[in-house]
Structure 1
Amino acid sequence: MASKVLLLLGTKKGAFILESDADRRDWALRGPFCETWPMNHVVADPATGAIFAGGGNEWFGPAVWKSTDLGETWTHSSDGLTYPAGETPVKAVWSLAPGQGCLYAGVEPAGLFRSDDGGRSWRHVEGLRNHPSRADWQPGGGGLILHSLVPHPTDERQLWVAISAGGVFHTADGGATWHPRNRGTRADYMPEGQNYPEHGQCVHCIVMAPGMPDRLYQQNHCGMYRSDDGGRTWSSIEAGLPSSFGFPAAAHPRDPQTLYLLPLNGDSVGRFVPDGKAAVWRTRDGGERWEALRDGLPQQNAYFGVLRQAMATDRLEPAGVYFGTNGGALYASADEGDGWTCIAQHLPAILSVETLVVDG
């Protein structure tokens, strides 16, 4: 039985933690942690309960912070988070993901690192940046970043990553070799006749459906997609959505057919919720149909955005759903999105939201 639920927030001014019991009605805020460094992604390893926060910038450099006591104390390390001499230095850690006995970090400029000692030291997974497409990778609006890390749940050698703007890549041999997995996704900014390239797409987020490792959902700069073959091919599922543009996606913890999105109005018209009316969009059938969930969300003068890692679900029954805004507000639903409550305001811009359920 769950004894507490933790929401792990990465913000422009450090990491924060909100804590509640299993009812998820009242929340207590702690932080800021990590000496108010910019924290792009804060995650937990469910196997150990350790919390990791990745971030930095050109002034601080990159680092991964770690807490083994649910945020009471923190240490950090950048040992090994570096490229060879002569290459553009690593600016910041952008994403983290626990693997099977390891921890992955995606960085800017786009690249992949792995730790096998709980974040104390890191080694560069060179195979990805050795891919022949690397010379064609271009920075998106947030920079040239590796922002999505999706380890296979049972095969430690498989991993999917997403690079903005480089596309989705997959390895089946632990990172030695990589293959683009972008067939069927558009790149509307490319010349006519070249807008379905093998690589170069501006991916915003990829997530895996629970219990179905070959089902991936992708929010792209140019559409919303689903793959049922591990990314080898993608099909559009944007029909019924108010916009083909957005950043975050969050999978239901148990139902592979259920997905949550928060579309924005477009890339060049403000990047805020359509018509200034907030809604989370939910599908219960893998993207065939979508419904807008608005109860408790502001329906006028809402001009916020939600970034690519700032939406998450918890594993309770019913599942909780959460998202944070670039204006520093955090919204929560304890009933799978049917009703919403604002549980925190006036925080720094929220860059990531993740959950940790502690059993006790």
Structure 2
Amino acid sequence: MATRILLLIGTKKGAFIFESSDGRRTWDLRGPFCETWPINHVIGDPAAGTIWAGGGNEWFGPAVWRSDDLGATWSHSSQGLAYAAGEEPIRAVWSLAPAPRGDGALYAGVEPAGLFRSDDRGATWSHVPGLREHPSRAHWQPGGGGLILHSLVRHPDDDRQLWVAISTAGAFHSADGGATWEPRNHGTRCDFLPEEQRYPEFGQCVHCLVAAPGMPDRLYQQNHCGMYRSDDGGRHWQSIEDGLPSSFGFPAAAHPRDPNTLYLLPLNGDAVGRTVPDGACAVWRTRDAGASWQDLRDGLPQRNVFFGVLRQAMATDVLEPAGVYFGTGSGELYASADEGESWRRIAEHLPTVLSVETLVLED
């Protein structure tokens, strides 16, 4: 049985697919796809071989593209991706996630922040209104990238449970399929607020929210103001930033099998460039759930490096050993086939990379 791995790349100028069938030694590039629309997130279904890409902007409007033949042909739909008349129009789709039962149901997070669901593989969409009906909605404020729902985390066994993260409203959890929501931000701070207000119920600027494998209630969060872990589904968060070069960054990627292993790419801070610290690139890894961190630099550029990596632009694959990948704001794509121990650049001169996901196929 042959194994193929696809890297699904969203950029400011379309989607791209990198494919390897020789153990991740060489990669072939296809694209750009999606008529070079801005594509914020691309995901795939290994069982059906379907790829979805979400994006858009004020000019194009929002849409979800779909390919049923691994990128050879594409169609797109925006049917239902709209709020009620008189509300602020939706600019773009920012995040996608399949429902865990694998029946073609999808979630989409959009800007301005809200949640939509499709039960026909992305052909039509319906608003899940409970989130925007939360009492805190009137107080949500846009972050630097806008008021976006950028992280969608599904419970692996319960389709009614869902976590989302919104800049800058914070993290929320629903236990009833999105009908009602509870803020889950206790313990995460807002350094940009007065000291006596730094731990509010909502209003945190979450940058990335990911789930640990095999532990549905363990979540990791890269925040504008720190790095955190929760072991109770986000009800309480504890700081795990000690040992990191910065409390600021965007992406986080969980190991596919080990709930204690996580990868980060910290940046130098929110007001000093948002580039890799000290002009040297490193991916940081913990193998003990954040108690300690190790910088991984072998094969990464170490002089005069001034790129950043965005919130959805890092991913792992499910192979053994796990692969780790990230894309940069300057259009480079880096890959590790040994869990971060060594790296190589597999692409350059792409448009700004907005997202990286993996799709492993067995032929």
Query: Which residue of structure 2 aligns with residue 21 of structure 1?
Result: 21
Q: Distance in 2 between matches of 1:342 and 1:145?
A: 30
Q: Which residue of structure 2 aligns with residue 358 of structure 1?
A: 361
1:288-303 matched pairs, under 5 angstroms: 288-303=291-306
Aligned to 1:342: 345
TM normalised by structure 2 equals 0.98
Say whether the 8 Å CA contact 1:2–1:357 is kept in structure 2: no
**Quick one: which of 269, 274, 277 aligns to 2:277?**
274
Are the counterparts in 2 of residues 215 and 230 from structure 1 also a CA contact under 8 Å? yes
The residue identity in structure 1 corresponding to 2:222 is Q
The offset of 1:22, in angstroms, is 4.8
* SS in structure 2 of the partner of residue 146 of structure 1: strand
**Code of the aligned partner of 1:154:** D
**Per the alignment, do residues 2 and 223 of structure 1 end up closer, same or farther by CA in structure 2, a change over 3 Å counting?**
farther
What's the secondary structure of 2:35's corresponding residue?
A: helix
Query: Equivalents in 1 of 2:179, 2:18: separation in Å?
Result: 39
**1:5–1:22 Cα contact (<8 Å) kept:** no
Match of 2:147 in 1: 144
Aligned residues: 360
Q: Which amino acid aligns with 1:35?
A: E
Moved more, 47-56 or 136-145: 47-56
Match of 1:170, SS state, is strand
Structure 2 gaps of 5+ residues are none
Superposed, 1:247-286 pairs within 5 Å as: 247-286=250-289
Counterpart code for 2:195: E
Alpha-carbon distance in 2 for matches of 1:22, 1:303: 32
Aligned equivalents of 1:319, 1:171: Cα separation in 2? 31
Cα separation, 1, equivalents of 2:179 and 2:309: 34
2:158 pairs with one of 146, 150, 155: 155
Give distance in 2, aligned partners of 1:104 and 1:25: 34
In the alignment, structure 1 residue 107 sits paired with structure 2 residue 110: yes
Deviation at 1:46, TM superposition (A): 3.2
Superposed displacement of residue 191, structure 1: 1.3
Match of 2:62 in 1: 62
Corresponding residue SS for 1:306:
coil
Matched AA of 2:111: E
1:255-287 Cα offsets, whole Å, 9 max, x none, are: 000000000000000000000100000000000
Q: 2:132 aligns with which of 129, 134, 139?
A: 129
Offset of residue 23 of structure 1 = 1.0
1:45 and 2:48 are equivalent in the alignment: no
Aligned-residue offset at 1:24: 0.2
Instruction: Assess, with a 3 A threshold, how the Cα gap between structure 1 residues 63 and 287 changes in structure 2: closer, same or farther.
Output: same
Contact 1:152 1:158 in 2 (8 A): yes
For residue 239 of structure 1, the aligned residue among 229, 242, 249 is 242
Aligned twin of 2:97 = 97
Whole-angstrom CA distance in 1 between matches of 2:246 and 2:21: 36
Equivalent residue, structure 2, for 1:205: 208
Regions of 4+ moved over 4 Å:
none
Which residue is equivalent to 2:172? 169
User: Aligned partners of 2:163 and 2:16: how far apart in 1?
Assistant: 28
The answer to which of 42-51 and 228-237 deviates more is 42-51
Cα RMSD, aligned residues only: 0.7
Matched residue SS, 2:329: coil
Deviation, structure 1 residue 49: 2.2
Partner residue, 1:327:
330
Q: CA deviation at 1:202?
A: 0.2
Partner SS for 1:65: strand
1:48 Cα deviation after fit: 2.1
Alignment partners' CA distance in 1, 2:358 and 2:2: 13
Once the two structures are TM-superposed, the CA of residue 21 in structure 1 deviates from its matched residue by 1.5
The alignment partner of 1:193 has SS state of: helix
Counterpart-to-counterpart distance in 2, 1:167 and 1:301: 34
Match of 2:233 in 1: 230
How far did 1:47 drift?
3.6
In structure 1, C-alpha distance between the alignment counterparts of 2:97 and 2:45, rounded to whole Å: 8
Find the aligned partners of 1:135 and 1:265 in 2 and give their Cα distance.
32
Choose 95-104 or 65-74, whichever is displaced more.
95-104
Equivalent in the alignment of 1:76: 76
CA deviations 1:162-221 (Å, max 9, x no partner) are 000000000000000000000000011111110000000000000000000000000000
Query: For 1:78 and 1:175, how far apart are their aligned partners in 2?
Result: 21
Three-state SS of the structure 2 residue aligned to 1:214 is: coil
1:34 maps onto 2:34 in alignment: yes
Q: What fraction of aligned residue pairs are identical, expressed as a percent? A: 77
Question: Matched residue of 1:355: which SS?
Answer: strand
SS in 2 for 1:281: strand
* TM-score between the two structures when normalised by the length of structure 1: 0.99
CA distance in 2, matches of 1:154, 1:113: 20
| Structure 1 unaligned blocks of 5 or more | none
CA deviations 1:87-124 (Å, max 9, x no partner) are 00000000001113310000000000000000000000
Query: Residues 308 and 30 from structure 1, CA distance in 2 versus in 1: closer, same or farther, beyond 3 angstroms?
Result: same
